[in-house]
Chain A
Amino acid sequence: MSVDLNLVWYVLVGLLFAGYAVLDGFDLGVGGLHLFSKKDEERRLQLNAIGPVWDGNEVWLVTGGGALFAAFPEVYATAFSGFYLAFMLLLFALITRAVAIEFRSKKAAPAWRTVWDIAFSLASALAALLLGVALGNVLRGLPLDAKHEFIGTFLGLLNPYALLVGCQVLALLALHGGCYLVLKTEGPLQAAIRVRCGRILAGFILVHVLTTVTTFLTLPHLTIELLDDPIFLLLTVSSVLLVASIPRAMGRGEDLRAFLSTSALILCLLGLVGYALFPSMLPSDPSPEFSLTAYNAASSSKTLGIMLLVAAVGMPLVLAYTGCIYRIFRGKVRLDSTSY
């Protein structure tokens, strides 16, 4: 039996980016909501809720990027050079975020802290928005030429559909981050965040429905034409049920279930994207014959095989110690002398 290594790596790279979306997703969301709490202690609690884990979460992006480079170098090269300015903005947002978290706590002066609070929050929101815009552009298709090069412009990437997906991702991650904060906080801060989550949920459902309808109307090859496929249908129905389960869990005060629902929703939506696009990774529009796929953009099968061994050895270890670290820092966040 021969294994379709290209398919395996399509799934594995997808899982790495999905892991990033779920894990760093909640701390980007926490960042986006940061400024709504006004008191220093509340902001410290929020920061320390993600304090021990945000850095490890970001490694999923770095590793996803490395895996994309190794398994699908053409996609890595085309996407990152094509999205040049957008990607530079994302990098600056991630840099700003990282140093804001680290620098904020180093001085007690209110002005110092306010500057880093604003930087942290705006950079987090910008990163979430840009990731969504990138996703929207991939779904919509990119102008590519026969040499796999991007021939569009930066402004072309800021099209209404991509911006809409950007807003959807921002709202979803804000909700996801809010649910995480509810889990990690207690008392009046938790109550305030619950109220905020309710409002974000309303906003998210609005933009989610709008995006879904637009996607069905404008990209039928990724949506309507696939409805007779049982797996696509199953994922679509699951996503609807998951969206519905979030207000239900929140209404009943089932905090963990609400967070697991937003996590599952992120995975489910990315699963839909991956399933609908396959084997395309960067679809070309208007010339579909120039699309980059899991087959024409991949490394040699020898390399894919070697990398599979690397992943088979490494990823169980990664999952084991990620689990171990989340366990060590489980429970409500408390401030102590080592906190940010």
Chain B
Amino acid sequence: MDLETLSRLQFALTAAFHYVFPPLSIGLGILLVTMEGWYLCTRDRVYLSLTRFWAKIFGLIFALGVATGIVLEFQFGTNWSTYSRFVGDVFGSALAAEGIFAFFLESGFLAVVLFGWERVSPAFHFLATVLVALGAHLSAVWIIVANSWQQTPAGYHLVETATGRRAEITDFWELVFNPSSLDRLTHALLGAWMAGAFLVVSVSAWYLLKRRHLEPSKKSLRLGLVLAALSSVLQLLSGHGSASGVAVNQPAKLAAFEGHYPASEPAELYLFGWVDEASEEVYGPSLPGLLGWMIHGDADAAVTGLRAFPPEDRPPVNLVFQAYHLMVALGLGLIGLALLALLLDLLGTLERHPFILRLLVLSVLGPQIANQVGWMAAEVGRQPWLVQGLLRTSEGFSPTVGSAEVLFSLSLFILVYLLLGALFLHLLFDKIQHGPEPVEVAR
């Protein structure tokens, strides 16, 4: 394999593996704040035992997030040095801000959350939990700002330097609030809330099926389902907003999402299908005019298709199409499941539906897969560009690093991450087997 492919594979692998963890800590952060806040208001010790239990799981998830995150902070330099020289002036600022505003906050106060139970007052401990959740959210803000700038660059100009062209900031706030930042931030955060919510839902449902830890599990299931239902429904709105933005700002990407080839014609919406990229045909059931209606509010409106772009400017279509459609399908399925389960729970009959409980146990995989394929659609859909319209992926990698070196590091990453993933799951299941412990003495 050539250097570009190897560098891309390594980035994809390390980013994808890392992205298992931060969404869980963002979503779980919200639930930890809720549980501990509820405990402080009601003094119901079940919520204290839930907080302690989920804080331990948060700690495990966070450790993996940190260990795999360091790689990403430096990989722009190690494997994408030409890209780094090109975007450092713009992109580096967001990464540095992430470190200063988010990472210190999150890692510092997590120590208080995990180890400070006996050392600080309950109110201060709660404050620490709030700050950890805030830190997790802030890190998403800055990294999504940086990534969104790659999708829809703004607030910059191009400058010739001694070693080549580069982008420099002209307006910091325009850069931060570039056309896709807010849509994508909302979408990623809701995806993270879903990841955390369905984790709690899944574990709680499993306890109910096993008739263990009944009292705390009923409470955590309710909390989890409320957040799951809320974030899944909001995600539908956010997804629609996001896609409409992509239609305006990155029409080639949207065309790949939907498998729409004609340069400028009314567009059908494929429910699912298969794209034959050689013949530029899509096979699958579709609803005529629906795509145009969703984007422009008019079924007869023309939607820009892939043929409007020269072949060298088009992303891989079938991969993006499949990833995008899987994400949408999972999102819709999760809305249905969360709403149904929440309704049954509110009616008090959820425990009489073991089938639904089993589905809930599996539901933890839904947001995880949706988050992964969603990012795949977003990033592969931006190809062939590394920075949309400005820098091609084929121009961005480190020219001085040898293929053999990247092959070596990539192999090592695969090996180490397989091991880490297995150990993580093993320890997570261990903790879940153990379950929440009743807290005997009120603090």
Contacts and interface: CB of A to CB of B under 8 A. Distances in A.
Contacts of B98: 66
A2 interface: no
B416 A95 contact: yes
A68 B89 CA distance: 10
A55 B66 contact: yes
Nearest to B164: A147
A332 to B, nearest CB: 13
A77 B59 CA distance: 33
Contacts of A249: none
B118 to A, nearest CB: 6
- Interface majority SS (helix, strand, loop, mixed), chain B: helix
Contact of B114 (A62, A71, A338): A338
Contacts of B347: none
A76 B166 CA distance: 15
Given A63-B104, A65-B73, A325-B109, A95 B81 contact: no
Nearest to A61: B70
Contact of B92 (A53, A58, A84, A299): A299
A324 B352 CA distance: 49
A147 to B, nearest CB: 5
Interface residues of B, number: 72
Interface string B181-221: 00000000000000000000000000000000000000000
A51 B170 CA distance: 43
B168 A299 contact: yes
A95 to B, nearest CB: 5
Contacts of B399: 149
A321 B104 contact: yes
Interface stretch (B39-47, B237-245, B274-282, B400-408): B400-408
B117 A81 contact: no
A70 B92 contact: yes
Contacts of A103: 423, 427
Contact of B63 (A87, A102, A151): A102
B263 to A, nearest CB: 38
B172 interface: yes
B398 interface: yes
Contacts of A27: none
A21 to B, nearest CB: 16
B99 A59 contact: yes
A66 B117 contact: no
A299 B88 contact: yes
B100 interface: yes
Contacts of A59: 99, 103-104, 107-108
Interface of A: 51-53, 55-56, 58-59, 61-63, 65-74, 76-82, 84-85, 87-88, 91-92, 94-96, 98-99, 101-103, 106-107, 147-151, 154, 296, 299-300, 302-303, 306-307, 310-311, 314-315, 317-318, 321-322, 325, 328-329, 336, 338-339
Interface of B: 59-60, 63-64, 66-71, 73-74, 76-79, 81-82, 84-85, 87-93, 95-101, 103-105, 107-112, 114-120, 159, 162-164, 166, 168-170, 172, 398-401, 405, 408-409, 412, 416, 420, 423, 427, 430
